[in-house]
Every structure is written in C-alpha cells, then in structure tokens.
Amino acid sequence: MAGTDRKRAVNVTTPTPTIILVDPQLGENIGMSARAMLNCGLVNLRLVRPRDGWPSLKATRAASGADRVIDNVTLFDTTAEAIADLTTVYAATARPRDMIKQVMTPPAAAADIRTRGSAGCGILFGGESMGLKNDDIALADTIIQAPLHPGFSSLNLSQAVLLISHAWYSSEDETPPEDLPMRDTRPATKEELLGFFEQFEAALDETGFIRLEEMRPIMVRNLRTIWHRAQLTEQEVRTLRGVVSSFTRLRRPKE
C-alpha cells in the first residue's frame, strides 16, 4: 500500500480525536503510531512521560514523513494533565477485572466518538511492557477492546493505535453539533471532573468515610468509576460540588 506523494500537502479540516500515549518506551513505536494516525487523518498526539525523552530521532525516522504529527506532539507529566481539556476519554486496554466500565469494540467506540464530537475525545494507550495502569484506566469513561485471538492478544503499541484510528477514519462523519442533545450546558471537561473528585474525596477523608487507609485507593477508584459512568455535564458538576460543600459545612459544627 505504498505510493503516496509525501510532498503533497496534508489537509485535515474535520475535528479529530486525540491520541495519548502513557509511558511509551521506544521512539520507533511512537513514530509508527504517528504514521498510523496520519494514515487515518489524525493529527493530535500527546505523550505522558516518554521514557527516552523528546524529541526523538528514532520516532521521526519511524514516522516516515508524518512530520505534521511529530512536530505538534505535546508533553505531559501526568495522565490527568494530558486529558484535562477533554470531555470524553477512552482507554485502549483489555477489560480490567475489578472495574465496572463500559467496554466497546473499535467500531462501536468510533461511532460513539463521532456522536460526542471528535474534538473533545481522547484515547489512552499504555506503554509497551505494562500497558495502562489501573489508575489511568480509572480516568477513562469507556474501555476500547478489539476482538483478538484469545491465545495471543498482545498487540504492538502502534498496531493498537492503527486499529482504533482506522475504525474512526472508516466510521460515519460527525453528527452536526446542532443535533447534540445538550442545549444549555455541555459535557464536563476532565479538569472540572477531577476538581470535583478532589473535593469529594477530601470530604470522604474528612468525614471518616474511609476507615482503613489501605482501602482508600480501591474505594476512590470505584467511586470515580461511578461518576464517570454518569457522564456529568458542567452544570451537574457544579451542582454536585455545591452538595458536597453543603454536606461538609453541616458536619463541621457537630464535630
């Protein structure tokens, strides 16, 4: 499938989802991911803690001309920062055993992204050796799991990026914005949601809801999973923040 004239200008005018690689190790895989993205018209690549630093000559070489993607890579120290401005986050991973999250195939996720508006959507991919950590998966609204041979289901990172990018590219165009069901509000950004989580979890600590410190991570993850599934709007996040404030204000005088 060779034969593209690489000098031809690449025009991508439609809104596209963001690809986020968390703890990627090899520059070659970052570059091949960038190439696969541009093959499918995707241009927004974010890296969280690339092991071998950035920029990477190996990545540029492996990108085979996808300079438009490589040159616009943005770097982040944490996954939370990398998704702060997004409204919907997907995690490309095998179904985790202990988290209740919706699981979609790549085509179903692609349709979902088109409906929600590609520009606000991001897809998390884990590093080569360990994949996504549970704490990263907990930040996502939905799991994307491609059907793969159960005896040998470990995909190369750039291959995973291609499968999901291509499902998006092959899917139907965006639902026009005026057809979206929300009129007076909008989906909460991840930054708004994480701000609410912090307030909520501080309240849990303050009120003694979490009695055993070693249970805290699992408890917090399970509660965040519930909020994610609720797909809160910006208005609803503000309402919930008010509820938590009012609960904790009431408790304090009693203590």
Residues in the site for a second copy, rule: CB under 8 A? Answer: 1-4, 6, 8-12, 32, 35-36, 38-41, 64-66, 92-94, 105, 126, 128-131, 145-149, 151-156, 158-160, 162-163, 166, 169-170
The token duo for 188 is: 């909460």
Which C-beta is closer to a second copy: that of 75 or that of 155? Answer: 155
The CA distance from 126 to 69, in Å, is: 19
Cβ distance to a second copy smaller for residue 150 or 253: 150
Residue 17 Cβ, how far from a second copy at the closest point, in Å? Answer: 14
Q: How far is the CB of 131 from a second copy (least distance, A)?
A: 4
Closer Cβ to a second copy, 20 or 237, answer by number? 20
Spatial distance between the Cα atoms of 244 and 246, rounded to a whole number of angstroms: 5
- Considering the complex, what minimum distance in angstroms separates the CB of residue 202 from a second copy? 34
Q: How far is the CB of 98 from a second copy (least distance, A)?
A: 14
**Residue 186 Cβ vs a second copy, minimum distance, rounded to whole Å:** 29
Contacts of 244 (CB under 8 A, 6+ apart): 196, 199, 200, 203
Residue 55: cis peptide before it, omega within 30 degrees of 0? yes
Q: Which of 4/74 has CB closer to a second copy?
A: 4
Of 151 and 176, the one with the shorter C-beta distance to a second copy is: 151
Of residues 88 and 165, the one with the C-beta less far from a second copy: 165
- To which residue do tokens 């969280």 refer? 48
Closest contact distance (angstroms) between CB of 142 and a second copy is 15
